[in-house]
Each structure stands twice: as C-alpha cells, then as structure tokens.
Amino acid sequence: MKPGQLLFLLFISVPIIEIYFLIQMSDVIGGWYTIALVIVTAMAGARLVRSQGVATTQKMQLMMAQGQMPAMEILEGVVILVAGVLLVTPGFFTDAIGFIALLPPVRKHLIGKILKSRLSSMGQQAESPFQQTYEHRPSQTPRSPDVIEGDYRRED
C-alpha cells in the first residue's frame, strides 16, 4: 500500500472509529461524563508527554555532552510528539494509541521496527546509525596574511 493510500484510509477510518466509540461510551456512562472523560484523558496525556519529553531532552543533552550522537533519543522525541498529538485529539481510539506509544518498551520496539524496515530497504545494517560518535573540535581556519591580531580599547 502506498503512503498516500494509507493516509487516505486513516483520514477516513479514524474519525469513524472515534465517533463509534464516543457514541458507545455515551450510551454506557452518559454524554456529559463522556465529554469529561475525553477532557481528563487529554490533560493526563499532555502531562505525560511533557514529562517524558523533558526526560528525553535531558538524555539527548547528556549524550551530546559525552560526544555521542543521540539518534535514538531524537526518534523517541518524534514518537512522543506524535503520541502527544494523538492524546490531545478528542476520542478514545487515538488516546489508546497515544498512551501505548508513551510506554518506553513499546516506543523502542516501534522505532526498531521502523528502522529495520527502512534500513533493510536501503541495504544497510539496522544498528549502524546508533554506533556513531563525534568529537567536538574547534574549527581550525587558516590565517590569511591580511589579518593582524591585536587588542584595542576605546577612549572617548
């Protein structure tokens, strides 16, 4: 299935699924309680996304300070962002997917699956992007003969 076809299918099916679950839930617990539950799950999801986003950002900064490329943390940040969008979207189906995506083992498994499928299509090993490190080196620009170094002070 092509990406455009998949997106079209998602744009059609997800709202239908959401409407179905909202109607079913309002039949069970009532309309106002359903609305309150949607709001509470959005608020709880936003709080979880914020805390996990901050933790991921801190891990990224730590890895960069150690001279390592934080590739996995960047991808986790993307998954957390998508989970956040799903959690603030009204509905129970998107909330369930969002909460599941916030579970670290599920998130790592999902990222691994995506990377393996992408990298295998490119003919590379799945672990190679995460084994890279870099060194911070100050830039060494050659001095031109027109540059004269010195100190100055301004007097008024």
Question: What's the rounded Cα separation, in Å, for the pair 118 and 78?
Answer: 16
Reported as a single tens digit per residue, the pLDDT across 45-101 is: 889 899 998 999 999 999 889 888 888 888 899 999 999 999 988 899 999 999 999
What's the pLDDT at 126?
Answer: 44
Which residues, in sequence order, are CB contacts of 153 under 8 Å at separation 6+? none
**What pLDDT does residue 129 have?**
52
Angle made by CA atoms 104, 3, 77, in degrees to the nearest 5: 25
Report whether pLDDT(25) > 60.
yes
Tens of pLDDT, residue by residue over 102-153, are 999 999 998 888 888 777 767 644 445 555 454 545 555 555 567 777 787 8
